[in-house]
Amino acid sequence: MKKILLILAVILVSGVLSAQTDIANARTFGIGQTVTVHGVATNGAELGPIRYMQDGTAGIAGYGGPITGVNRGDSISVTGPLIEFAGLLEISTVTNVVNHGPAVNFPSPLQIPITSAGESIESELVEIQNVTFVETGNFSGNTTYTISDGSSTLDVRVNNGVNLVGAPIPSGPITITGLIGQYNSNYQIVPRDLNDIVTYVAPVYEINVLVEGTTVLHTDDYFIGNNSVINVTIENTGSSPLILTGHSFTGADAADFSSTISATSIAGLSSQSYTINYSPSGIGSHFASIEIGSNDSDENPYIINFEGVGTDNLASEPSANATALTFPLLEAYTLGGQYTAGTGAGKYLVLWKNGSAITGVPTDGTSYLRGDVVGDARVAYAGPGTSFTPRGVIANQDYHFAVYAYNGSGGFENYLTSSPAIGNITSLGEQIGTYYDGISTSSSSLPSDLYALINPHTQITYFMYKQTMMSEFEIRDTLNGQSYVTCVYSGEKKVFDDPFDWTATGYSREHTFAHSWMHSWPADNPESPEYTDQHNLYPTNLSGANSPRSNLPLGDIVGNIVFTFLEGNVGINIDGQMVYEPRDIHKGNAARSIFYMATAYNFELTGDFDSDKQDEQLLKDWHFADLPDDYEIARNEYIFDLQGNRNPFIDSVDFVCFINFDDNVHLPNGCPVGIEEKLENNFVVYPVPANDKVYIQVNGTTISGYTVLDMQGRVVVSEHQSQLQLLELNTSDFEAGHYIVEVETPYGKVQQKFIIE
């Protein structure tokens, strides 16, 4: 195996972009934060709009924008925000590229076994020897294949643009070169052309070193904790003897390490086992590097950097915490923090809390993962970076943070708990600005004016919803480094291991305004804007919520419930119609999504399908009963950044008063003025006091249901029935005393006390 550090021909130009860093450091930045890196492009247009690049520290992918003009071998400076697309860290969309021309030295592939394909070498150019394809036949484009070394396998992704498409799949052992990519939980190698897959020829000799059974690549780090004996295996994957010339330890604590590795010969395709012995001479972290000499000239000596802990079973405590905590990224839906590195610190634990200062303090010897609870706070980030982006930010919240420096891992952590970097920031609220200038609710053209305002907008493919709404907004942290997503209909919180995958979680993208209701149905091939509109799509449990809802109208169930999944139900509404009723805190959200779709695409709630398909008045009731909260405001702001348009019915709740969505025409009189006061003023209960009958009515509207409670809040009777002008309530069995009656109307609920003698 060989790993050659790159010497980049980087010419710095006056005015070149700021915040320059090496790629390894850039990979520690928070999602959403902007980085500038230099590197050599290791692919060109054959892989489409993505360019993998690497410097002497690591690799990273850049996607879209001006990077699409970069050729393989170009030395480039790239700027853009970080995202994680299906597990692959990317600079996307690239905002600026400075092309310095062909690099002096092109990266040599890092030779690895299949088992080393993982996060630590993501986006790097690698070479894997002596593997075979599981499949036969010819290569197809945009298809994933599998290679095997006899015991382990790895995905091979063949993209449409490479000249492998149509070529026969080799039947014998091959050597494959390509970029290490990731899709969901699977790592993959991405070849660039026919030259990247060649017949395997065994090397003369080749060293590979395993520590405790796992390959540790040349110059990589290995944390041994307090283990006194570490098992090492040296393999020769070549055909001729590998000659070992011995070993030596270097570094500050070299005297604490020894090894049984000695001068010897290891036959071709053979291995030899050894040990490394560690005996710390004091407390804190201990560092040393082993150098193993051999006749493998490109890795002579083979170097592994070890870190152990001392006699106190803790790493060294940092001498100073991080400072200067700032928040360069701030929106209604996200924020990003950064800080100045502490002294003698290798890692940082970022805690966060909503509403007040953090008092929780981490405990030495404890490993924390993102989402874990520490006192009154949770972990937003743990790692070597000096920036972070917490997940789950919503609008108008006062978030507090504390940053603790630490060293160590695996239960040997040592935190500096005095004087952490602290700070707080309030997430933004609605950023409406002048968006609705010129829009008037008194204008007869209000529906068409709103239509023109929110169209045209950027169309984002349905496929991208996982990246946009899920990875960047909906997914939240929970314990043990896991994540969860909430089914908006049922309230289920589905826990999973990152990265998110639709099939593995059993989730789907639900069209609130049902796909089959759309004029263009089926609108998914090719995709129409109404099919992919992010304002209309929400995550739901597929079998528990999406499928049961199907294309049923939304409604309040008053009759038989035929299906239940947590807080979502299918049943019969007041008109005897089968409906789906989501949980209460999503009813207003769903109503506003439907109002948006009706306005954005000239969809009527009647006319193009059965006149009773969706009850407009019910949606307006839901809208006012469940007004936009900070989650929905944040979501609207995020989609505004994605699509370039807003949902007017979130920004101004009164717009719904002036539109008849059954046929999308203007309602000049709007909603009843002071609806709650009007209901109360027209609510009549008589006689008072009463004996065996009470008569109830709300002048000017109908009663669709009622509930009677005693003064302890216990339900005495509750019924939902057809629209009634007058409710006659039999109270002959009621005990004497005071009661409360709450009635439901098309305009909301109203309640009043009455007395039974």
CATH number for 73:
2.40.50.200
pLDDT at 241 over 70: yes
Least confident of 219-228, 388-397, 479-488, 699-708: 699-708
Q: What is the pLDDT of residue 18?
A: 42
pLDDT at residue 8 greater than cutoff 50: no
Within 295-419, strands assigned E span: 302-309, 323-330, 335-340, 347-354, 373-374, 377-383, 387-388, 398-407, 414-415
Identify whether 442 is part of a domain.
no
How far is Cα 383 from Cα 346, in angstroms, rounded to an integer?
8
Q: Under 8 Å CB-to-CB from 61, ≥6 apart: which residues? A: 50, 51, 52, 53, 88, 89, 90, 91, 92, 123, 181
**Model confidence at 55: pLDDT above 50:** yes
Domain holding 336: CATH number? 2.60.40.10
Q: What is the mean pLDDT of the chain?
A: 92
pLDDT confidence of residue 757: 84
Residue 302 has pLDDT above 80, yes or no: yes
Is 621 found in the same domain as 545?
A: yes
For residue 747, the model assigns a pLDDT of 65
Mean pLDDT of 307-311: 97
Average pLDDT over residues 21-47: 94
Supply the pLDDT for residue 536.
Answer: 98
pLDDT for the residue numbered 653: 87
Q: Output the pLDDT for position 12.
A: 27
**Alpha helix positions (H), 260-360:** none
- Look up residue 468 and give its two tokens: 């946009």
Q: Would you state the pLDDT for residue 672?
A: 63
Confidence of residue 721 (pLDDT cuts 50, 70, 90): low
In this predicted structure, the answer to whether residue 608 has a pLDDT above a threshold of 60 is no
Q: Is the pLDDT of residue 687 over 90?
A: no
Question: Are 477 and 512 in a shared domain?
Answer: yes
Q: What is the dihedral angle through the alpha carbons of 678, 679, 682, 688, rounded to the nearest 10 degrees?
A: -140
Binning pLDDT at 50, 70 and 90, where does residue 606 land? confident
Of 102, 130, 157, the domain-final residue: 102
Contacts of 540 (CB under 8 A, 6+ apart): 487, 488, 489, 490, 507, 508, 509, 510, 546, 549
Give the pLDDT band (50/70/90) at residue 722.
low
Query: What pLDDT, on the 0 to 100 scale, is given for residue 652?
Result: 92
Cβ–Cβ < 8 Å for 708, 753:
no
Mean pLDDT, residues 96-118 taken together = 95
**SS3 state at 220:** coil
Q: What is the DSSP letter of 170?
A: P
- Give the model's pLDDT for residue 19: 57
Residues listed for the chain: 757
Q: Give the number of other Cβ atoms within 10 Å of residue 296's Cβ.
A: 25
Do the domain assignments include residue 478? yes
Least confident stretch, 11-25, 271-285, 295-309: 11-25
Cβ pair 292, 302 in contact under 8 A? yes
Cα–Cα distance for residue pair 439/416, rounded to 1 Å: 56
Same domain, yes or no: 552 and 660? yes
| Res 744: pLDDT | 82
Band of residue 261 on the pLDDT scale cut at 50, 70, 90: very high
What number is the average pLDDT over the span 599-624? 80
Tell how far CA 494 is from the center of its chain.
14
- Kindly state whether residue 443 falls inside one of the protein's structural domains: no
Do 117 and 97 share a structural domain? no
Q: What CATH number corresponds to the domain at position 121?
A: 2.40.50.140
Structural domain of residue 419, as residue ranges? 324-426
Q: Are residues 583 and 629 in the same domain?
A: yes
pLDDT exceeds 80 at position 675 = no
- 604 located within any domain: yes
CATH of the domain at 747: 2.60.40.3080
Say if 317 falls within a structural domain. no
Predicted local confidence at residue 706, as pLDDT: 85
* Omega within 30 of 0 (cis) for the link into 301: yes
**pLDDT at position 709:** 87
pLDDT the model gives residue 673: 52
Say yes or no: 93 and 124 in one domain: no
655 compared with 653, residue with greater pLDDT: 655
Please name every residue paired with 537 in a beta bridge, in sequence order, or none if there are none. 511
1 in a structural domain: no
Last residue of a domain, one of 72, 102, 132: 102
Residue 431 within a domain: no
Residue 691: pLDDT band with limits 50, 70, 90: confident
Judgement on whether residues 59 and 114 belong to the same structural domain of the protein? no
Among 532, 645, 472, 384, CA closest to 81: 472
Does the pLDDT value for residue 748 go beyond 80?
no
Over pLDDT 70: what percentage of the chain? 95
Q: Which of 607, 638, 666 is at the close of a domain?
A: 666
Tokens 């109307």 belong to residue: 745
Is a pLDDT exceeding 70 seen at residue 131?
A: yes
Question: Does 346 share its domain with 399?
Answer: yes
Average pLDDT over residues 531-553: 97
The number of domains in the chain is 6
Confidence of residue 535 (pLDDT cuts 50, 70, 90): very high
Say if residue 506 is in the same domain as residue 633: yes
Rg (CA), the chain: 32
The pLDDT of 72-90, averaged and rounded, is 94
- 636 and 498 in one domain? yes
Reported as type and span, the H/E element at residue 617 is helix 616-625
Residue 383 and residue 278 share a domain: no
In terms of domains, do 559 and 641 share one? yes
Is 168 within the bounds of a domain?
Answer: yes
The mean per-residue pLDDT over the stretch 349-354 comes to 97
Question: For 668-676, which contacts have Cβ atoms below 8 Å and span 24 or more sequence positions?
Answer: 668/442, 668/444, 670/441, 671/620, 672/747, 675/624, 675/747, 675/748, 676/748, 676/750
Q: CA-to-CA distance for 113 and 104, rounded, in angstroms?
A: 28
pLDDT at 176 (0 to 100): 98
| Coil vs helix vs strand at 104 | coil
